[in-house]
Amino acid sequence: MLKNTFSKYQALIITGVLLWIKSYLLYKIAFDLNIENNVQEFILLINPLSSVVFIMAFALFFSGKARNISVIVLNFVATFILFANMVYYRFFNDFITIPVLFQTSNMGDLGESITSLLYPYDLLLFIDVILMAVYLKLRNVEAPRVSSKKIGLTFAASLILFIVNVGVAETERPQLLTRSFDREMLIKNIGAYNYHVYDAIIQSKAKAQRALADSSEIVDIENYIRADYREPNPSKFGIAEDKNVVMISMESLQSFVINNRVDGREITPFLNDLIKDEDTYYFPNFYHQTGQGKTSDSEFLIANSMYPLPSGAVFFTHSQNEYHATPEILDQENYYTASLHANNKSFWNRDIMYKSLGYDRFYSVKDYEVIPENSIGWGLKDEFFFEQSVEHMKEMPEPYFTKFITLTNHFPFSLEKEDEQIPEWTSEDGTVNRYFTTVRYTDESLKMFFESLKNEGMYEDTVFVLYGDHYGISENHNEAMSQYLGKEITPFVTTQLQRVPMIIHIPGDGKGKVMDTVGGQIDLRPTLLHLLGVDTKNTIHFGSDLFSKERQDFTVLRDGSFITKNHVYTEGKCYDKNTEKAVEKSLCQPYMEKAKKELDYSDRIIYGDLLRFIDPKTGQVKEDEKK
């Protein structure tokens, strides 16, 4: 009987078993999933099974050669999902979500970044698809019809397998399906295919939230924000009033390169000198808080003092929302607001989102002269970007708020020999080796930009804000990073590597110093507005002034990790900053609720588009909404 059953369904059985094995092996080889015990290993082994049965069950609707074709097609589609996650993971150390898949307007600009992530041996992932197609063709296998009852039982079997899978997983990770922000945990416990189905459900739920939202939902959030408000430092409030603002988003720049060397050479000599300047405030304990939206997430954080979403990019998924962003606020203070970035205006949906944020002008690639001689990788080299941007700045009415986004220090960190200020490092990891070189190039470009502004008489009456937008070196390069740093890359060290430079330079201030407070990108908006003399007490935001004497040393990352003055909480463990060792979780307990609540409240504002119910002038619910 078993032999007869196998003969009838051999294409389905063989393909299903191979897909199951392939999924498990890919988990082990391509993804850095932290398996802590045998139970987790068992869950990892069985979690593709329910999905494989479910996928293959669709082939039962067909018979004869049509079933063989459907089996091949289903296997190819399932394999491509694995392949796409593998390639995405290589750079982002993360898994694809539905919103990311719909960010197709970015694909045309990825170019070299994607091709550098592809390897010839990746084709081995599809070898079973090819071999099975050849086997079925040569054997001329015929598949009999299957009754509706048997098809239904097969789908039921996949559901039972999924319930068993989740049941076992819940014993290891309680409330598993409420942790949608932790994609690695979901992949480990319910598998890649089930994760994508779950993600689709979450995204559908998010879309429905706006339609069902009403003004009552903002009340609790408003009360929390009002209670958590920190008064700005009176000695710093308004010290840059009416000054021009130059804000520079430094692509992929992490703090570990600051005041550091590679092969005896300074990596960031200009930034190192700027930090020591008497007019500079430097924040060494400042963290990026981005998610899958990377640079666009950092823009969102800094413009709105709200957290990005747990999946996808707000710039794509909620670009039509109502926001009370920094450009809009400064526009009311008679500032001319502009963003300058030598890339396609549609990349990250900026042309649409910038309108929602209130920018007066977006200088995109069409506003720059980009030729082969002055571009590489992602486009215009930083040196020429700043050079041409100065000419645009001359045309702007004052005071102006300008945000610059650099490009050259972007993965895969390509640079021509003639532009190298320092040679590549010599580890076995080319990505890390090149990173130091492109960072050095960006540092030199910044130096030239500052000199140009001084020569043009545009320096003295300007406040400069420079920050790293997100990490450049992911956890996939831990071996090389361990070699460079001279220590093991533990979860604690990984979290500390999320620190990015944050520099505020105010010419003529003379009171600059190193500020040890723990902060993040979410704090930049209230900090800048207070320096410019803008009251933020009536605005909805989650950050607090980095200069405030009432400030709490605390910042939360998008993955739920958080950092306080003495501790780091990540991956369910509490670490002491001094010893870098895990300590009692109770030491981090007082901040756990705050971290969770802020991420949740911020998500609710975005999903429900709740700011449409708030009067931006008073910060209160609009009178017509109360009625």
- Name the catalytic one among 79, 290, 295, 406: 295
Helix 65-92 × helix 38-57 angle, to 10°: 140
Q: Which residues contact 592 (CB under 8 A, 6 or more apart)?
A: 562, 569
For residue 381, give the 3-state DSSP assignment: coil
**Identity of residue 255:** S
Could you tell me whether strands 502-505 and 375-376 are parallel, antiparallel, or unpaired per DSSP bridges?
unpaired
Alpha carbon distances (Å) from 212 to 217, 289, 443, 609: 10, 29, 48, 10
Q: How many Å separate Cα 198 from the centre of its chain?
A: 20
List the strands of the sheet with 462-468, edge to edge.
280-282, 502-505, 462-468, 244-250, 400-405, 336-340, 361-363
Classify the C-alpha dihedral 148-152-153-158 as positive or negative. positive
The residues with which 575 forms a beta bridge, in sequence order, are 568, 582
Residues 523, 544 contacting (CB under 8 angstroms): yes
Q: Which residues contact 110 (CB under 8 A, 6 or more apart)?
A: none
From 402, 373, 399, 370, select the one nearest 385 (Cα to Cα): 370
The secondary structure element, H or E, covering residue 388 is helix 382-394
Does the active-site annotation cover 406?
no
Written as six digits, the tokens of 370 are 């980009």
Written as six digits, the tokens of 532 are 């410019």
**Identity of residue 39:** V
Written as six digits, the tokens of 184 are 């690695």
The residues with which 218 forms a beta bridge, in sequence order, are none
Q: How many CB atoms are located within 10 Å of the residue 76 CB?
A: 16
Residue whose token pair is 């995109």:
364
From 175, 197, 189, 246, select the one nearest 55 (Cα to Cα): 197
Residues 427, 433 contacting (CB under 8 angstroms): yes
Any idea which residues carry the catalytic annotation?
295
